[in-house]
Structure 1
Amino acid sequence: MRHWLHRFSPALLALLAGLAGVAALIPRPAAVPAQPTADYVIIVGVAGLRWDDVNAADTPAMWQMAQDGAIGALSVRSARRITCAGDGWLTLGSGNFAVFTPGPVTPVCPPLDVPITRNTTSATLPDQGDLVTRNSNLHWGAQPGALAEGVRCTTAVGPGAAVAAARPYGRVDRYSETLDDSLLDACALTLVDLGEIAGDDPVARAADARRADAALADILAARPEHSVVMLAGLSDLDATSRLHVAIAQGPGFTGGWLTSPSTSRPGYIQVVDLAPTALAALDRPMPGRLFAGTAASTADSGRPADVTAAVSRLADADREASVQRRVGTNFFTTLVVAELLLFLAVVPLLQRARRPAGPLTHRPIPRPLVRAAEVLLIAASLAVPAALVADLLPWWRWPRPGLGFGGVTLAVTATATFAIAFLTRRSRAIAPLGGVAAVAALAVAFDVLTGSRLQLNGVAGYSAVVGGRYAGVGVIGLGLLATGALLGGAALAQRFERRWRPFVMAVIGAVGMVMIGSPYLGADASGAVALTAGGCLAAAMAVGGWLTITRLLWAAGAALFVSSGFAILDLFRPEAQRSSVGRLLVRTQDGTAGFIARRIAEADVVTTVTSPLTVLVLGCVVYATFVLLRDWGGLRRLLGVFPPVRAALSGLVVACLLAGVVEGVSFNVLGAALATALPLVVLSCLRVLEHADDRTPAAPRVPEAALES
């Protein structure tokens, strides 16, 4: 019995670590939502309205509404990459991501053209059937008219409002082209189109904002009692995607930030949240699973008491998000090119790094040159974490944001490189690998623990304009966390006995799983499941030797057990707070999982073709195959001398590929991981080759006279 416990205690402790990780993901009780108190809801849409258009002088009605109500940044994501005015209005009326504008969109959206057949007090949209058919063929499953079907009567003022208020068969209950005070209490739900604010000319935008504000002032003056008024900048009007205005004022919205479970971020909501918010305020039932959004509420924490400071914060978020995509594309393209060139430059060093014990066959490489290569490799591995840390400074406010970001990132990279290179200059071969990986993961973990402020709208994070994620860990952060959990765990496990290495890998993997999968931290369920699979594989391979069938079955069983526990816990959460894993299980049960699978597959294809990280992944595969795995490449020796590193790299590839495919980002997770991991692997190969032919010094010979004495 004692022998059995001695042999299997590491495996049992590893299983307990996994169970503890699952237990840490148990959700807290859901908060009781506030009861609705409104009799009327008025949604006012101004296409293109941004927070930098709102000020006390030009838009006093909007300013007062922002002071008295709840405010937030509105993501105008629709079923199109560029959300034009019609797309925004139809997404509002569908409560789901919809498309209105036909054909390709040039950098400027076409004018909103809505055929309307007028009746006495109502109207009909003759093209509504075509819109329903077009959106039914999309994988989002949007149904135009879902919002109107949730109430008995709807009033629309203006063509855009008619698009949102039309029922699936095209009828608009009450319609007027111009605003009339008597219309505001004719139905429980009223939608008003106040036109557009387009272009970049400050004078023209200010004039359009003043016109919209005057009409809004009339609405506020004539609003019925117990009404909620929502102001929304429903769409973009050109290819420069931005964040827009969202204000709700009335019962239940008397201050604080606007937020919703769809974003889990105070101060951010989506267009798809407006429809469920209106129905929730009116105490109307939600139309099944037709809505992609959730009802918005208020979050009081963190909003400045001064409305000027609050509006400035939202305008600053819009400014950062507007430049994030362009700067991010340039950064990752430059990084990919620089790393691939660096890998090619290191090839001669790898070929000549090994020092044979016999007579030298070639001139040794100058030590300063090798040291310079090591420093460059460390710097390359730190570039992505440095890009994350760079958001501590407001580079997006500077006149040249791209140059500002580049300068800050270079400074952070240089500082971290100097520290790592100095501390590991005389250490073992895998010390830089484990150290840098751990530093990268700790940077992301610190950001997640403090609210993911660096990742939101950050170059190494995610954009609220794109709308895929608003809180938690992003695609790049997931790659860094997986790299740190597995490679950092491998470096630590190498210091333990063979039989304890799986336990070390399991403990660190469990910590990473909790950090990624907890809905209060990383909030990425599929990423946590992927890391579980990779971590179990790494734990099975950490002891070295062949990956036997028995080890593989144990790893697969443990991964399935932990992942199943995670999924079951996810089903106990409220529907609005379920992760992608829980939603997929529910959709599989009711037979609608095909829509999700189609959406993910399309996103994978688009990302594969457009992302520069795809080039990095392919380049790394070619480099590893034709350089590192050669006899002089050093990788095989590195993996043989350090079995936990072999295990960690195998688990990292499995975890990142699985997460990328399931989340619809293709090779981006693996690309972010390789951008940090492969330079460190190359550096470790250089160091291993340098000592490949070291000999243990022979013991000094003792004279026979000394032995006899």
Structure 2
Amino acid sequence: MLRRLAPALLTVLVVALGVTALAARPPRSTPQQHTADFVVLAGIAGLRWEDVDPQSTPTLWRMAQDGSIGSLSVRSAHRPTCPVDGWLTLGAGSFAAWNGSRPADGCPATGVAVEQPDGIGANLPDQESVVQYNQQQLSWGALPGSLSESVRCSVAVGPGAAVAAARPFGRVDRYAPGLPADPRVLLGSCVLSIVDLGTVDGVDPAARAQAARAADAQLARVLAARPPRSLVLVAGISDTAQPSRLHVAIADGPGWERGWLTSASTGRDGYLQLVDLAPTALAALGRPMPERLFLGRPALSTGGRPAEETEAINAPADADREAAAQRTVSGGFFTLLAGVQVLLAIAMVPLLRRARPRAGPTGPAPVPARVVAVAELLLVAAALTVPAALLADAVPWWRGEHPGWIFAGVTALLVAAGTAAVRFAPGYAGTLGPIGAVAGLTTLVVGLDVLTGARLQLNGVVGYSALQGGRYAGLGTVGLGVFLASALLSAGWLAQRVQRGWRPAVMVAVGGLAVLMVGSAYLGADPVGAIALTAGLCVAAAISAGGWLTITRLVWAAMAALAVAIGFAVVDLRRPAAERGSLGRFLSALGDGTGGFTVHRSSAANFETLVNSPLTVLAVAGALLVWFALLQPWGGLMRLFGIYPAVRAALAGTAVAAVLGGVLDGAALDVVGAAAALVVPMAALASLRVLGHAADRTRPGVSRSFSDDADGGAGPGGAGPAGGGDGPTGGGGPPGAGHPGPVTGPPAAQPAPGEPVEPTPVGAVEPPGTPVRRPDGPSEAAGTSAARLPRQATRSSTEVAAP
């Protein structure tokens, strides 16, 4: 009865863990409601934190000292975000873009036509075509002018501000081409004012400093004329050329003193999105928000800012440098990693074909032991490259003159240190020793980063970039792939060392902790990844004790993942709209008829990533090596699966979780590629070792523990390629197939209980009547049981000397 109830009980446990992880939310302060009577949005296109200093921009410096600051990601529907796109996105509260042609590597030089038929307002004749372009041809469904439509009256100063303040039909309520001599009356005529303070452009430091100085002087006039009880938001509203950068965000007003800016859309202190500015203005004014139209969330002011002002203001500038360096280094790193692993996979094929010792006097010469040892170390180093690159971001390599070379040197040192640690770790000589060490080390590195706020993920080479605007906290795509692979491999390694009946429980215990870390909003903040990992974990737990992945077991796994998704969806939909996660927002969009945009964006992201990402090459190369080499009769992986069913379960669960996580998250094969960078080298190494021990035999009558892997043992009696006594078919294999190394020495008499036993060499003849240990029964006389042994264990007449 307990065996029948075990799958159901484990499924319930996994579901409970998953829903618990996804439902819990960290306490956050609520957006400040109706804290201002007026809001002034001042935009300076291209302004970065490196342009702000006490001498050239004293007004901006004082605002940064007294108010809340952050790094602004200016993502829009086009990349780069040109000034007109940035102003349009500000007014839409969603990712928008101006229609028309633009150069491939920059922004159009043409201005925006602004008509002023009277002396009060203005009109944008192109606004209607821009609205149609965003509503019908772009996948975000943005409605330009949504911010102005949410208030009764708005003021625009300058052409860029007119783009942001224009209503969907093109009307600007009040407009001035520039700041008047006394801006008090104009800024106090409406509750919302949008001011264009100019553009900071170019790469010449002197030219940028001059433009920033002019914008700072205009900002001083705005602050001098600001209405009472007003909130002033200053933003570097856009890029001006490739590549994208992080920009200035400052909030100054009641309740915004000396803090970090953040929002629910980023979940990271010190980071804000351009689409967050419109909800922030409406929240401060106490006005309702068009939830269906706004993608951003109101900004918050949080604590934790350094007391030293120079240190606090330099932190966003350092983040901008790191993000810019990450863009340059990341592509080269993954391209190099894919190339090295492809070459290593090609080199593994002849080693695998010659790894099995020859059983007779003829056959291919064995590979020298030194070559095999070097190949194993290279495989370990390849598997540790991604976690080493993640750990390298603890060193500020981006501050150097040659950041790429510094990053490469730090990563190489960490790879060498990790490889040495694995090589000299206890149990390295065992078949599963390297797998356990590499998986455990990777889980430790990624897990500690997640537990400490995922600081190495943000703007990291193997993490995610704030410039992309997709993720700012938790686990990224590469981190998810590596973490789920290492966690499941660690669970499989531990499960293999316990009795068969306890293996599903061990898999659930270790994998359940991984689900908690991935799905928790406090930690990994990836509900889709947690759901995918739940499915993979259930598959692994179902087959960890042996047997095939039957329809029943697959249904249990699918039901568990579906139950986690449904449970979280119910909890998420009960939250306020501003606090919902990605799954809750998607279901809400399905309910109001806008879910098609999300599906279209996910499909487009999958296709773009599939075509352009180097991780796709890693995924495809790993799949080819597994299918055309490792899974072949000479490849050794099937033999490994038969001897170690818990490892087979972990690899199967990793494949399921990685595929689901990538497709559902819009990352195509990136999650699979990241997982393959760890799993495939370890599978190849374990296959090499299993093949190297394929001709070994243990002494007849020797009893071996299921959990004994210190010497590569395979449990009682060993196992053959088709599965051992613990394998997928439940049948026996050649005794001691997992025994390490060549065996030498003459046979000896049956030892007393507890006495150490020396293995019997292949080709030696046992005296008649010697007891033979069978995996499925008691000891029998060798002379009477040879016919009942598996065929792989019998020896031909050419291998046995005549009596």
Normalising TM by the smaller chain, what interval? over 0.9
Contact 2:70 2:270 (C-alpha < 8 Å) held by counterparts: yes
User: 2:648 aligns to what?
Assistant: 646
User: 1:700 aligns to what?
Assistant: 748
1:268 equivalent to 2:271? Answer: yes
Between stretches 307-316 and 12-21, larger displacement belongs to 12-21
Contact 2:276 2:297 (C-alpha < 8 Å) held by counterparts: yes
Task: Give the C-alpha shift of residue 43 in structure 1.
Answer: 0.7
User: 2:578 aligns to what?
Assistant: 576
Matches within 5 A, 1:517-528: 517-528=519-530
User: 1:126 aligns to what?
Assistant: 125
Matches within 5 A, 1:191-590: 191-301=194-304, 303-359=305-361, 361-423=363-425, 426-590=428-592
Contact 2:124 2:166 (C-alpha < 8 Å) held by counterparts: yes
Larger radius of gyration: 2
User: 1:534-570, CA deviations, whole angstroms, 9 ceiling, x for partnerless residues?
Assistant: 1111111212222222222222222322332232222
The counterpart of 1:27, out of the listed 24, 43, 53, is: 24
Contact 1:144 1:167 (C-alpha < 8 Å) held by counterparts: yes
Between stretches 547-556 and 384-393, larger displacement belongs to 547-556
How far, CA to CA, are the matches of 2:400 and 2:178 in structure 1? 43
Question: Which SS does the other structure have where 2:606 is aligned?
Answer: helix
Matches within 5 A, 1:630-709: 630-698=632-700, 700-701=748-749
User: 1:53-108, CA deviations, whole angstroms, 9 ceiling, x for partnerless residues?
Assistant: 00000000000010111000000000012100000000000000001152343322
1:98 equivalent to 2:146? Answer: no
Task: Give the C-alpha shift of residue 161 in structure 1.
Answer: 0.3
Structure 1: give runs of 5+ residues left out of the alignment. Answer: 705-709
Contact 2:80 2:106 (C-alpha < 8 Å) held by counterparts: no
1:114 equivalent to 2:117? Answer: no
Say if 1:426 and 1:390 are closer, same or farther in 2 by CA, change over 3 A: closer
User: 1:294-341, CA deviations, whole angstroms, 9 ceiling, x for partnerless residues?
Assistant: 11010012x112221111111000000011122000000000000110
User: 1:593-638, CA deviations, whole angstroms, 9 ceiling, x for partnerless residues?
Assistant: 1111000000111111110111111112222222112221111111
Between stretches 217-226 and 160-169, larger displacement belongs to 217-226
1:67 equivalent to 2:65? Answer: yes
How far, CA to CA, are the matches of 1:10 and 1:650 in structure 2? 17
User: 2:145 aligns to what?
Assistant: 145
Contact 2:21 2:517 (C-alpha < 8 Å) held by counterparts: no
Task: Give the C-alpha shift of residue 584 in structure 1.
Answer: 1.8
How far, CA to CA, are the matches of 2:529 and 2:384 in structure 1? 22
User: 2:165 aligns to what?
Assistant: 165
1:57 equivalent to 2:55? Answer: yes
Say if 1:687 and 1:287 are closer, same or farther in 2 by CA, change over 3 A: same
User: 1:175 aligns to what?
Assistant: 175
Question: Which SS does the other structure have where 2:699 is aligned?
Answer: coil
Between stretches 594-603 and 344-353, larger displacement belongs to 344-353
Question: Which SS does the other structure have where 2:393 is aligned?
Answer: helix
Contact 2:610 2:668 (C-alpha < 8 Å) held by counterparts: yes
Task: Give the C-alpha shift of residue 31 in structure 1.
Answer: 4.3
User: 2:189 aligns to what?
Assistant: 186
How far, CA to CA, are the matches of 1:612 and 1:32 in structure 2? 41
Task: Give the C-alpha shift of residue 664 in structure 1.
Answer: 0.9
Task: Give the C-alpha shift of residue 494 in structure 1.
Answer: 0.7
Contact 1:523 1:579 (C-alpha < 8 Å) held by counterparts: no
Contact 2:392 2:407 (C-alpha < 8 Å) held by counterparts: yes
Task: Give the C-alpha shift of residue 34 in structure 1.
Answer: 3.3
Q: Percent identity?
A: 55
One-letter code aligned to 2:286: D
Say if 1:104 and 1:636 are closer, same or farther in 2 by CA, change over 3 A: farther
User: 1:15 aligns to what?
Assistant: 12
How far, CA to CA, are the matches of 2:30 and 2:378 in structure 1? 54
The counterpart of 1:614, out of the listed 613, 616, 623, is: 616
Contact 1:86 1:112 (C-alpha < 8 Å) held by counterparts: no
Question: Which SS does the other structure have where 2:611 is aligned?
Answer: helix
How far, CA to CA, are the matches of 1:333 and 1:133 in structure 2? 40
User: 1:19-54, CA deviations, whole angstroms, 9 ceiling, x for partnerless residues?
Assistant: 244334433566444332211111111100000000
One-letter code aligned to 1:623: L
Say if 1:360 and 1:15 are closer, same or farther in 2 by CA, change over 3 A: farther
Say if 1:357 and 1:8 are closer, same or farther in 2 by CA, change over 3 A: farther
One-letter code aligned to 1:340: V
Contact 2:422 2:438 (C-alpha < 8 Å) held by counterparts: yes
Contact 1:380 1:679 (C-alpha < 8 Å) held by counterparts: yes
One-letter code aligned to 1:124: N
User: 1:707 aligns to what?
Assistant: none
Task: Give the C-alpha shift of residue 488 in structure 1.
Answer: 1.1
How far, CA to CA, are the matches of 2:456 and 2:218 in structure 1? 38
Task: Give the C-alpha shift of residue 496 in structure 1.
Answer: 1.7
The counterpart of 1:87, out of the listed 64, 85, 92, is: 85
User: 2:774 aligns to what?
Assistant: none
Task: Give the C-alpha shift of residue 652 in structure 1.
Answer: 1.1
How far, CA to CA, are the matches of 2:585 and 2:608 in structure 1? 23
One-letter code aligned to 2:583: V
User: 1:168-216, CA deviations, whole angstroms, 9 ceiling, x for partnerless residues?
Assistant: 0000001111102131111111111111111110000000010000111
1:154 equivalent to 2:157? Answer: no
Task: Give the C-alpha shift of residue 11 in structure 1.
Answer: 5.4
Say if 1:6 and 1:660 are closer, same or farther in 2 by CA, change over 3 A: closer
Say if 1:231 and 1:31 are closer, same or farther in 2 by CA, change over 3 A: closer
One-letter code aligned to 2:571: L
Give TM-score scaled by structure 2 length. 0.85
Question: Which SS does the other structure have where 2:55 is aligned?
Answer: coil
**Structure 1 vs Structure 2 CA RMSD:** 1.7
How far, CA to CA, are the matches of 2:596 and 2:499 in structure 1? 47
Between stretches 667-676 and 619-628, larger displacement belongs to 619-628
How far, CA to CA, are the matches of 2:29 and 2:422 in structure 1? 45
Question: Which SS does the other structure have where 2:465 is aligned?
Answer: coil
Contact 1:44 1:229 (C-alpha < 8 Å) held by counterparts: yes
One-letter code aligned to 1:471: A
Structure 2: give runs of 5+ residues left out of the alignment. Answer: 701-746, 751-766, 769-803
**Aligned pair count?**
700
How far, CA to CA, are the matches of 2:147 and 2:298 in structure 1? 13
Say if 1:212 and 1:218 are closer, same or farther in 2 by CA, change over 3 A: same
Structure of greater relative contact order (alpha carbons < 8 Å, 6+ residues apart): 1
Question: Which SS does the other structure have where 1:297 is aligned?
Answer: strand
How far, CA to CA, are the matches of 1:672 and 1:10 in structure 2? 30
User: 2:135 aligns to what?
Assistant: 136
User: 2:74 aligns to what?
Assistant: 76
One-letter code aligned to 2:282: L
